[in-house]
Structures are given as C-alpha cells and as structure tokens.
Structure 1
Amino acid sequence: MCIPHAVLEGVEISEMVCPGTEMIVGARIDPAFGPILMVGLGGIYVEMMKDVSFRSLPLERKEILGMFKSIRSYPLLLGVRGEETKDIDSLVDTMIKLGAIIQKCRGISDIEINPLVVYEQGSGTRAVDVRIILSKG
C-alpha cells in the first residue's frame, strides 16, 4: 500500500537481541523504605506472574543472590530442560550498579530494566528496554 502524503517524523533502528532468560530489575526511592532494589521474571511475564522480590538497600552480593532464590522462577537461572546455567554474576553486577545509581544520583527516583536478557554463564546480560524517572523538585 502506498501512502503518497505520509510524513515521516523519524526512524528508529534497533539491534536484534538474541533470546535468553528475560528478567526485570530495578531500583527506586520508596517513600517509606528509602532506596530499594527489585528483581523478578521479566518481559511479557512480569504482570501475569508477579514473581518479584524487593529488598532495601544497601545490599551485599550474598543478599542479592538471596533475592534470586526467593522468586519462583529462580530455576530458570540455573538452567532447565537441558539449558545452560545463566550468567548470574552478570545479573548481580547489574543490580549492584542499579543500587549504586539510585543511592548516589538524587535526581533519579526510579530505574527499571525490562527485559534484562540473561545469557549463558560467561556471556553476560543485555538491557532491552530501560525506563528512568527523574525526581520531582
């Protein structure tokens, strides 16, 4: 179909990301608890499964690993049905960085990556969509 009077306002080109385990990670300033960190099953499943864990910051690596173990989808990170173990270290590193950003950058009130694709051990993670909300005032 040809639309001769169409006006193009711009074009978006995005890299195609290889499939992997889709997680959601985020950090925010909660009015009651202060800075908090969040992880869960991401992508299209986040609203349906509601499989997320929240913890107040600051957190050590061991505590972040405990967050993973508290969600029902944790076995996906360990590899299921012949899949390889996922790059849990890279996922922890990403969460540590999000925690540092939310604690140090007072101009940011909320950061969310959904999905954060987690690949096989040693292959890292890839942020597909990132939302950052700036603080008011």
Structure 2
Amino acid sequence: MDHLLKDAIREGRKILLEPEAKGLLKSIEVPVPPYEVVRDIEEAQEKAERLGYPVVLKVISPDITHKTEAGGVCTGITDVEALKKAWMEMVLKVAHKRPGARIEGFVVEKMVKKGVEVIVGTIRDEQFGPVVMFGTGGIAVELFKDVSYRLAPVSLEGAHDMMREPKGFVLLNGYRGAPPCDVEALAHTLVKVSRLLCDLKELEGFEVNPLVVYEHGVIAVDAKATLL
C-alpha cells in the first residue's frame, strides 16, 4: 500500500487525491464504483460511453478538499450533452469559488444506485492513537453527531457493536418496508478501514463518506485521506 502514498509524499501534499484514496480502498478490497481519470472533455465523453450513463463528474485538485462546496461535483449526468454542459459549468464554478486551485484532471464515475448511506473513518488521536468512527451518512453526521468510536484496529465483533450504537442503525434493518442491509459486509469494511492507520504510519486520517450499503454488499462512493 505504501506505493499509493509516494506521489503525495514526494510532492509534499498533505491530502491524497480521490483516485489515490480510492486506490487504498481497492488495495484492502473495499468496492468502489467504476471510474476513469480524464484530462479533457473529449476523453470524458469517451470514458462515459464506456462506463455507461448515468455518470458523475468530479474535479481532481490538491487544493480542494470539499469538492461539492467548490462546485466540483455533478451527479446524474444522463447523456453526452448533459456531460458537456456539466463540464463547462464545473470549470467556471471551480474557477470562481476556488481561484488559483490547481486542476489535475477530472473523475468520470459510474453513478451507483441508491442505498443506505453511512460514514466510516479513522483518525490518529494524539492521546489514544488510531481511532475508528462509524455513523449515519450525509447531513445527519453534521447535524446530529450520530456516531460511535472505538480504538483501532477493531475486531469483527467490535464492528458489529459500534454499528448498533448510532440511532441511524434502524435504517440498516429494513426501515419502513425496505429490505435489510448487508450488515456483515459493512462490519468487514469497518474492520478493513480501521487497520489503515495501523498499517500506514504516514496516514493521519481516512474517511469514506458516503459508504453506500445495499441488501447485498457495500460500495465506497467517496474517500478522503490526510497525511501527517
């Protein structure tokens, strides 16, 4: 896994680019959506056709941590004309909201189907060392702090325990007639992510938000990583 950090370390970056963070996820066998890194609109069109619509377009920049706030994410792109429009609007928005930000490319990603969104993260605490966090995804994390914590790495049994603590766990059990989610796959993902900071001493933190949980399996839609 160390080779996935070498470019960031060599360039003196404190954050990994999205493809690098997702490379870490793939190395620990956490599923991510099919995606391609592109440099221009012609390449984006070619890759989108190959992936199949609908797709998501995301900016890649070492200077932008929160892509959505910078106008650097567009979802639900259904055809080539919508892709061209999204590309033009994104370039203008990012230039306006983050002037001077270095743009190193774009991600064209297959849009995933809806499921239950959760957040899985790990941080290197000054007092306790690596700590793993689990919570309901999306805005609920910011509004309600509906999360649980454990020292990392966490066992499979410990992962199941911390998953049950947040109030949002009810959503994973088949809320309002929905099928129950694959909590076993989710628990295994928690275990894998909890080990990242233990295995990679250069990592300060790692976050998957959202991690989408389905009736069968999970998929990591977005990931962020910071270096010490």
Structure-2-length-normalised TM-score: 0.53
Counterpart in 1 of 2:149? 54
| Amino acid of the structure 1 residue aligned with 2:217 | G
Which 10-residue stretch deviates more, 9-18 or 22-31?
A: 9-18
How far did residue 27 of structure 1 move?
A: 0.9
- In structure 2, the CA distance between the partners of 1:97 and 1:11, relative to structure 1 (3 Å rule), is closer
Q: Which amino acid aligns with 1:93?
A: H
In structure 2, what is the equivalent of residue 95 of structure 1?
190
What is the identity percentage for the equivalent residue pairs of Structure 1 and Structure 2? 37
What is residue 125 of structure 1 aligned with on the other side? 218
The residue that corresponds to 2:128 in the other structure is 33
Pair 11,98 (structure 1): closer, same or farther in 2 beyond 3 Å:
closer
Q: Which string of whole-angstrom CA distances, capped at 9 and with x for unpartnered residues, describes residues 57-114 of structure 1?
A: 2322111111111111111111111111101111111111111111010011100000
Once the 2 structures are TM-superposed, how far is the Cα of residue 46 of structure 1 from its aligned partner? 1.6
Amino acid at match of 1:74: F
State the 1:11 CA deviation.
4.5
| Kept after mapping to 1: 8 A contact 2:153/2:191 | no
Q: What's the counterpart of residue 70 of structure 1? A: 165
The answer to which structure has the higher helix fraction is 2
Distance 1:108 1:79, change over 3 A: same
Is the CA contact (8 Å cut-off) linking 2:208 and 2:224 kept in structure 1?
Answer: yes
- Partners of 2:129 and 2:106 in 1: how far apart? 39
> 4+ residue runs of structure 1 moved beyond 3 angstroms?
9-12
Alignment of 1:4-43 (within 5 A): 10-43=105-138
Match of 1:106 among 201, 225, 228: 201
Structure with the larger RCO, 1 or 2 (CA within 8 Å, 6+ apart): 1
Size of the aligned set, in residue pairs, is 129
When the two chains are superposed, the root-mean-square deviation of aligned CA atoms in Å is 2.1
For structure 2, the residue ranges without an aligned partner over 5 or more in a row are 1-84, 93-102
Q: Which amino acid counterpart does residue 195 of structure 2 have in structure 1?
A: A
Partner of residue 80 from structure 1, selected from 175, 188, 198: 175
Q: Which runs of 5+ in 1 are unaligned?
A: none
Offset of residue 38 of structure 1: 0.4
